[in-house]
C-alpha cells in the first residue's frame, strides 16, 4: 500500500500524483533537445515551466544541475539519466503503438490518466481521428488552457473527459461522444502503479467491455521495487538535492501502490479475450541506446516495467 494515498484522494498539477505528470514532461523536454532524440515534444518544456510544481522538476531541464549532481554523486547522476532515458523510450514505444493503430484504420483513441500527454497535439493523426483524454479536471484544464494561451491547437479532434478513473468514467466517456461499437486504441501509460491491484483489474475489465474485436490496448506495467534498495537510493538523492539547494515536494515512490497480488497484465489480458504480448523496458532501452550501466536495481528485472500491447479477439 501507499502511505500517501486514500481511496478518494484528488489532485491538481502541483500536488500528489499530478506532479508526476510534470516529471514525465520534464524528461520529454530534455530528450527533445538531444541531437539524437527518440521523440520530439515541442510543448513539454512549456507545460513544465508554467506548472509551478516545484523547482526540482524544472531543474531536470538544466544541464548545469546535472553537472553538479554528477560531481557530488555519480550514482545519483546515473539514476537521473536513467529516468530521463526510460521516459524517452517509453514515450517512443507508445508513440509507435498509436502510429501502428491508426495505420490499421483505428480512428478512436482513449488515453487513460492522460496527465500532460501532448500526443493529441504533436502526433500526425489521420483525418477523422478522435482522441479522448481522461484525467482529473484540474489537470486537463491546466494543459488545455496553457497550450491554448500559447497558440497551440490539437492535431486531432481532442475531447476531455474530466473524471477520476475510480468513478464511473465509462458513462462520462460515452457522454463525450465515445462509440463502444467502434474499434479503439487504448493507452494506460504511467497509470497502473498508482492503482491498487483490484482497481487495475477493474480498469481492464471496463476497457474490455467497451472494446469490439480488433481494438487495441497498451500499458506500462507496475514495477515491483525492492523497498530497502529503493529507500537507499532515495536517501542518497535527497542528500544530493539538499546539497545543491533543491527542494523535493513529493516522494514519487510513496504515491505508488506496491501489491504482491497485482495481476500480470499480459497474462490477465490473454485470459480475458485479448491476444497480448510484452516487451521488457530494459530490453527496449538497450535496443534504443538509452540503457545506463551500473544503476541501482539493474540486476532486478522485476524492478522495471513491461510495455504490453493487446488486441481484442
- Residue spans per domain, the chain: 16-312
Per-residue confidence band for 246, with pLDDT thresholds at 50, 70 and 90: low
Strongest mean pLDDT among 221-230, 258-267, 274-283, 302-311: 274-283
Assign 239 a pLDDT band (cuts: 50, 70, 90): low
pLDDT at 289: 94
CATH number of 16-312: 3.40.50.150
Mean pLDDT value of segment 2-21:
54
In degrees and rounded to multiples of 5, residue 6 shows phi and psi of -130, 170
Q: Which range has the worst mean pLDDT, 160-164, 207-211, 248-252? A: 248-252
The answer to whether 247 and 55 are in contact (CB under 8 A) is yes
Residue 310 has pLDDT above 70, yes or no: yes
pLDDT, average across residues 14-36: 79
Does the pLDDT at position 144 exceed 80?
Answer: yes
Report the distance separating Cα 208 and Cα 113, nearest Å. Answer: 17
Three cell numbers, residue 107 = 480512428
Query: Could you give the C-alpha distances from 298 to 58, 72, 221, in angstroms and in order?
Result: 27, 21, 17
Q: How confident is the model at residue 11 (pLDDT cuts 50, 70, 90)?
A: very low
- β-pairing, 216-220 vs 306-312, is antiparallel
The residue among 308, 289, 302 whose CA lies nearest residue 94 is: 308
pLDDT at 221 over 70: yes
Beta strands at 274-280 and 306-312: parallel, antiparallel or unpaired: antiparallel
pLDDT at residue 212 above 90? yes
Q: Identify the H or E element spanning 235.
A: helix 227-243
Mean per-residue pLDDT of the chain: 84
Locate 171 and state its grid cell: 458513462
Do residues 211 and 312 lie in contact, with contact meaning Cβ atoms separated by under 8 Å?
Answer: yes
Model confidence at 80, pLDDT cuts 50, 70, 90, reads confident
Q: Binning pLDDT at 50, 70 and 90, where does residue 57 land?
A: low
Residues in the chain: 313
pLDDT given for residue 20 in this prediction: 75
Q: What is the mean pLDDT of residues 111-125?
A: 96
Of 179, 191, 210, the C-alpha closest to 273 is: 210
Per DSSP, what are the bridge partners of residue 111?
A: 133, 187
Vertex 279: Cα angle to 22 and 298 (nearest 5): 70
pLDDT > 70: what percent of the chain? 74
Per-residue pLDDT at 53 exceeds 60 = no
User: Across residues 102-112, what is the average pLDDT?
Assistant: 98
Distance, in Å, from the CA atom of 96 to the CA atom of 90, rounded to the nearest integer, reads: 10
Which element (helix H / strand E) includes 170?
helix 169-175
3-state secondary structure 238-296: HHHHHHCCCCCCCCHHHHCCCCCCCCCHHHHHHCCCEEEEEEEHHHHHHHCCCCCCCCC
Distance CA 84, CA 94 (A): 16
CB 166 within 8 A of CB 140: no
Mean pLDDT of 91-109: 98
78 confidence band (pLDDT: 50, 70, 90): confident
Amino acid at each position: 500500500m501507499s502511505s500517501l494515498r486514500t481511496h478518494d484522494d484528488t489532485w491538481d498539477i502541483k500536488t500528489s500524483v499530478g506532479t508526476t505528470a510534470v516529471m514525465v514532461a520534464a524528461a520529454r523536454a530534455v530528450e527533445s533537445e538531444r541531437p539524437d532524440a527518440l521523440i520530439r515534444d515541442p510543448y513539454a518544456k512549456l507545460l513544465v515551466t508554467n506548472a509551478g510544481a516545484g523547482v526540482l522538476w524544472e531543474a531536470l531541464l538544466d544541464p548545469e544541475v546535472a553537472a553538479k549532481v554528477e560531481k557530488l554523486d555519480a550514482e545519483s547522476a546515473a539514476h537521473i539519466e536513467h529516468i530521463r532515458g526510460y521516459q524517452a523510450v517509453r514515450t517512443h514505444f507508445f508513440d509507435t503503438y498509436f502510429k501502428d493503430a491508426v495505420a490499421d484504420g483505428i480512428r478512436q483513441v482513449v488515453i487513460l490518466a492522460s496527465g500532460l500527454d501532448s500526443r493529441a497535439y504533436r502526433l500526425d493523426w489521420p483525418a477523422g481521428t478522435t482522441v479522448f483524454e481522461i484525467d482529473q479536471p484540474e489537470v486537463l484544464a491546466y494543459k488545455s488552457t496553457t497550450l491554448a494561451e500559447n497558440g497551440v491547437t490539437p492535431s486531432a479532434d481532442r475531447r476531455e473527459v474530466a473524471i477520476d478513473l475510480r468513478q464511473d468514467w465509462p458513462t462520462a466517456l460515452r457522454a463525450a461522444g465515445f462509440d463502444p461499437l467502434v474499434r479503439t486504441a487504448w493507452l494506460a501509460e504511467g497509470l497502473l502503479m498508482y492503482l491498487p491491484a483490484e482497481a487495475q483489474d477493474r480498469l481492464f475489465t471496463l476497457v474490455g467491455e467497451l472494446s469490439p474485436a480488433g481494438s487495441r490496448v497498451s500499458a506500462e506495467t507496475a514495477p515491483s521495487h525492492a523497498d530497502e534498495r529503493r529507500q537507499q537510493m532515495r536517501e542518497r538523492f535527497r542528500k544530493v538535492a539538499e546539497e545543491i539547494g533543491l527542494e523535493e515536494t513529493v516522494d514519487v515512490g510513496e504515491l505508488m501502490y506496491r501489491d504482491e497480488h497485482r495481476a500480470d497484465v499480459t497474462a490477465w489480458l490473454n485470459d480475458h479475450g485479448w491476444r497480448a504480448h510484452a516487451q521488457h523496458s530494459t530490453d527496449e532501452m538497450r535496443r534504443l541506446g538509452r540503457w545506463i550501466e551500473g544503476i541501482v536495481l539493474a540486476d532486478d528485472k522485476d524492478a522495471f516495467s513491461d510495455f504490453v500491447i493487446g488486441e481484442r479477439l
